[in-house]
Amino acid sequence: MDSWRAHIRPHPYPQYLDRIAREFSPQWDDASCSLAALRHGLLLGGLTVPEGTLGAIFGRKYPDGIDLSDKPSRDRLRDLGLDPVNLTMPSRQQTPQFLEQLGLEMDRGAFALACIYGGWHWITLGRWQGGRIRVVDSFVEKDWFRAGIYDVDMYSLTPKAFDYWEWENGVLLIRPGYWQKNYEEWLPARDRLLRLAGPSAPMAQRLQEAGQHYLNDDRYSYRRLELFLSDKSRMVADVEDPGRDAISVSTTTADEPEGQVVVVRRLAQSEYGRLGPPELICRLPRLCGWQLG
């Protein structure tokens, strides 16, 4: 229906790139993940709509969530001008092959929504690149591969790591439909929106930002600083008393020929007024910032 589509506002590329990048935000509550995931998928086409508006359109009643894969929700997605279809991975197919086919759809402007944890949580899939699926998660309280840099969590997962989160071998593929032109216009921005490309700080600076974000969180008293470099590599520093024994994350200012150096140290001074030795010293190769987490 034109009346439903009128609630979606398209924005031109590239003038609104920075604004659209800032629109990625956490879900409102524990049960609004599906609507947040849909909103993030719309952002990939430069389209904005308030999450509260989506809740009214899909008939959400607090505190219940919305199953976007059922027929009433798919009908409403069509009313919004989108073309949704439930895709199930064939029994003989492997996850990498399924995601490869899904990636071809994404390269033409589509995005997908997956319900993980055995059907409990919705996330957005936006890009298949280099054998990894790019995920946007609106529930930032989860501590999966979180770096804690952005307002939402964005992961670059291998098929094996994606399988670990029980995606039930099926996704809701959403083709642009009425909005095809908008999604095609915004395709060059997709990697930037998903933090895959574009102006990016060095890896060492990203680690420093992540550490500062974590240590500046006033919601709890931290006992461990843990930075995930991948699903198999991490940096850990334990703290007995965060009020007395705070940790800092710093980087060298010199241009290191073999990559920047990250130094994690405790800020408590010795009896001589000097800082103690570094807790961790890590020399990093020249990696893109999105690889953190």
Tell me which amino acid residue 5 is: R
Single pTM value for the model: 0.68
The stretch 278-289 carries a mean pLDDT of 54
Contact 144, 47 (CB under 8 A): no
Q: Which residues have CB under 8 Å from 257's CB, separation 6+?
A: none
The stretch 217-231 carries a mean pLDDT of 60
Tell me which amino acid residue 12 is: P
pLDDT digits (tens, 9 = 90+) for 163-196: 998 998 999 999 999 999 999 999 999 998 997 6
Residue 55: C-alpha distances to residues 24, 36, 76, 151, 194 (Å): 17, 10, 12, 21, 24
Paired strand residues for 128: 133
Contact 126, 136 (CB under 8 A): yes
Round to whole Å and give the CA distance between 110 and 204: 33
| pLDDT score recorded for residue 147 | 39
| CA max distance for the chain | 74
Second CATH level (architecture) for the domain 2-193? Alpha-Beta Complex (3.90)
Q: Where are the domains of the chain?
A: 2-193, 203-291
